[in-house]
């Protein structure tokens, strides 16, 4: 369900993807930061310890990891692309107030439609938006609504 760093390394080896230093560090970052980071977040955090890191490299590596099936692209909003270690059976909830993205479990098998009976479905995404409990309680306390 929640793949470990070692399992992911093994999966990449099986696909003949060379585990370079930068690739391992990006993979490690994604395992340790399951907060659906943007390229900018990944790059700026890793650059602190890999001073020569290039943002192009981060883009290249993410592309390879996505193609290898170990990382998933999340496009809840059109203006920010996020990346997530591939995990089965979950949806994403984005809080309109604080911007946090939460994972939630959902039974994808229930997600069927007669309209798609002749379609080959390879990828299911569920994105919700709204207000998270923490922001809800803040709003109730202050009695004012924070902007979107």
Partner DNA sequence: TCCCAATTTGTAATCATTACATATTTACAA
Partner DNA sequence: TTGTAAATATGTAATGATTACAAATTGGGA
Least Å from the CB of residue 121 to DNA: 24
Host H or E run for residue 88? none
The residue range among 1-9, 16-24, 52-60, 122-130 that interacts with a second copy, by the rule CB under 8 A, is 122-130
Number of residues that bind DNA (CB under 7 A): 24
The two three-digit tokens of residue 120, written as one number = 């080959």
Distance (Å, rounded) from C-alpha 19 to C-alpha 68? 13
Is residue 107 at the binding interface for DNA, with CB under 7 A as the rule? Answer: no
Does 100 engage in binding with a second copy (CB under 8 A)? Answer: no
CB neighbours (10 Å) of residue 8? 22
Q: State yes or no: residue 78 binds DNA (CB under 7 A).
A: yes
49 binds DNA (CB under 7 A): no
* Cβ density class 121-148: b for 16+ within 10 Å, e for less: eeeeeeeeeebbeebeebeeeeeeeeee
Residue 119 contacts a second copy per CB under 8 A: yes
135 marked as binding residue:
yes
Residues making contact with a second copy (CB under 8 A): 73, 75-78, 81, 91, 93, 96, 102-106, 110-116, 118-133, 136
């Amino acid at each position: 369900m929640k793949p470990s760093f070692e399992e992911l390394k093994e999966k990449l080896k099986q696909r003949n993807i060379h585990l370079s230093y930068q690739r391992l560090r990006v993979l490690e970052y994604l395992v340790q930061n399951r907060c659906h980071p943007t390229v900018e977040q990944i790059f700026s955090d890793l650059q602190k310890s890999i001073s020569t890191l290039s943002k192009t490299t981060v883009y290249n590596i993410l592309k390879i990891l996505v193609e290898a099936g170990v990382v998933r692209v999340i496009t809840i909003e059109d203006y920010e692309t996020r990346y997530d270690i591939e995990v089965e059976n979950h949806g994403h909830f984005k809080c309109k107030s604080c911007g946090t993205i939460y994972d939630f479990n959902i039974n994808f098998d229930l997600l069927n439609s007669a309209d798609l009976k002749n379609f080959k479905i390879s990828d299911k995404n569920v994105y919700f938006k709204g207000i998270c409990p923490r922001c809800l309680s803040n709003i109730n306390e202050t009695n004012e609504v924070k902007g979107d």
